[in-house]
Amino acid sequence: MAVESTHPDYDESLPDWKQMIDTEKGERVVKEAGQVYLKATTGMVADGMSHNQPGYVAYTNYKHRARFPDAVSTAVSALVGLMHTKPPTIELPSVMEPMMEKATNDGESLDVLLRRINEAQMITGRIGLLLDVKTGTNVGTLPYIATYGAIDIRNWDDGAFSDELVERSLNLVTLDESGAERDNNFEWTTKEKYRVAVLGDPTDNEAAGKYQVGVFSESLQFSPAGMITPSLAGRTLDFIPFTFINASDVVASPDKPPLLGLSDLTLGIYRGEADYRQALFMQGQDTLVITGGNDPDANYRTGAGAAISLPQGATAEFIGVDSAGLMEMREALQNDKAEAANKAGDMVDKGSVESGDALRIRVVARTATLNQLAKTGAYGLQQCLRQAAMWLGANPEEVIVKPNLDFVNDTLGGEELVKLATAKSLGAPLSNISIHKQMSEKGLTELTLEEEMDAISEEVPADASSNPEDLPDGEKPGKKVVKEEEEEEEEEEEEG
């Protein structure tokens, strides 16, 4: 049994994942892929595509002149930034609290891990979390979370379909851990390595048994002798602690990357750019045609300082590429770029001023999928952490992960605050307590109303009437007004 085997769904999704990763990384990576994303013309192929042949040189220049838009990376940064304008809510049992700041094998906090999960959801639409523990661990040791990208999750089996409505159980996961390793001579070599997690006997597709895991590098053939049963404080697991997180669910089957359409569009722009800039280049490369010249050894030169001597009756002229289609090519590129900018999530027109509610409505309308993405990512992380709680003997229900779903950072600005104060002065039934509550909810202050009033009383007075020395002993500016309003509200509540 070869451990490097892949799932059929993996093979089908792999081209999309590679395209998304390349287009998110940007122009250099896309151009290094060569004809994967930009085919050579038939003329280039006819001139030879081997190194230093005319066709190869022409293709290299053709590719270098083109520009690739970084719309995918812009969209990922902008949308993930929107998702994390405010921190998530994460609660853990007391025994797991250290994981809040150090949860992964790279020492990342849970906040950072959730951001990385959302990034992967946005790019490939898939990430996996494996709960692991170092061998020989003692009581008090916490497990850690290892992350695997979509391409690293090569094979899996979540049980066969059945006529009976029974819950399917994950019994096999193969994870690619290949990479560069440094030897004793400071040299790096790429080594194949695969981690295999199974439940029971993998040859029987069992859905029950003890969780076992093994790493295979030198021999890529599965062997039961290479498997161990991880335990934590003497506890073993009867399930594989691996969580699939897709764009919209946490099942084993892959999802379509949410930004795949944008990625396709950027590659279309890249190819159009190549043709457009090739046409522009050819506009400046007119060909000299001499009619009636019979000297095959003549060495004609063109440009400033050059002279051409023609036989009597001969004529010379330049011919070039017709530029009639350049305008249409440019307009098509502009339209594609405008569509890409729209897909990339240019949510806010920085030149306009909107109220918080208007901005919130417009952003939510254009980022509806972010809600599903955020909820799925948080649910997947919660599921992994609840598995950790079960392994530690803690209550998994105490693990709560709630994502931020407020994608607009609509802090209370000065203009809105003036409007509130003006409305109050004109008779609106609005107390200082209510105004302060708005200020707190929208991030304008972190102090309580009492703390704000105490801080105001310690400031340099604007006029003599607000001078603390003019007030009775123990009285501070503003506190009497606040106290009266609080008493009035209490009386209204009692009467109600």
Ordered per-residue pLDDT tens for the chain, 496 residues = 688 999 999 999 999 999 999 999 999 999 999 999 999 999 999 999 999 899 999 999 999 999 999 999 988 998 898 899 889 999 999 999 999 999 998 899 999 999 999 999 999 999 999 999 876 555 458 999 999 999 999 999 987 555 454 456 899 999 999 999 888 888 999 999 999 999 987 766 666 789 999 999 877 888 888 899 998 888 899 999 999 999 999 999 999 999 999 999 999 999 999 888 888 877 766 677 878 766 666 677 666 667 777 777 788 777 766 666 677 778 888 887 787 777 665 433 443 444 555 545 545 545 557 889 999 999 999 999 999 999 999 999 999 999 998 776 555 567 777 777 788 787 778 888 888 887 776 667 778 888 888 888 887 655 544 455 555 555 555 445 555 556 666 666 666 5
CB 320 within 8 A of CB 285: yes
CA 10 to chain centre: 21
Query: What's the token pair of residue 472?
Result: 């009775």
pLDDT at 425: 81
pLDDT of residue 248: 92
Angle between helices 414-425 and 432-441 (to 10 degrees): 170
Question: What pLDDT shows up at residue 293?
Answer: 67
CA dist 473 and 218 (Å) reads: 84
Q: Which residues contact 388 (CB under 8 A, 6 or more apart)?
A: 96, 99, 131, 142, 143, 145, 241, 399
Q: Exposed, middle or buried by CB within 10 Å (0-12, 13-18, 19+), for 316?
A: middle
List the beta bridge partners of residue 89: 402
Give me the residue spans of the domains in the chain. 414-495
Going by C-beta distance under 8 Å and a sequence separation of 6 or more, which residues neighbour residue 178? Answer: 190, 191, 192, 193, 194
CA 148 to mean position of chain CA atoms? 15
Question: How high is the pLDDT of residue 140?
Answer: 57
User: What is the model's pLDDT at position 132?
Assistant: 92
Burial class (CB in 10 A: 0-12, 13-18, 19+), 486: middle
Q: What is the C-alpha separation between 132 and 211, in angstroms, rounded?
A: 11
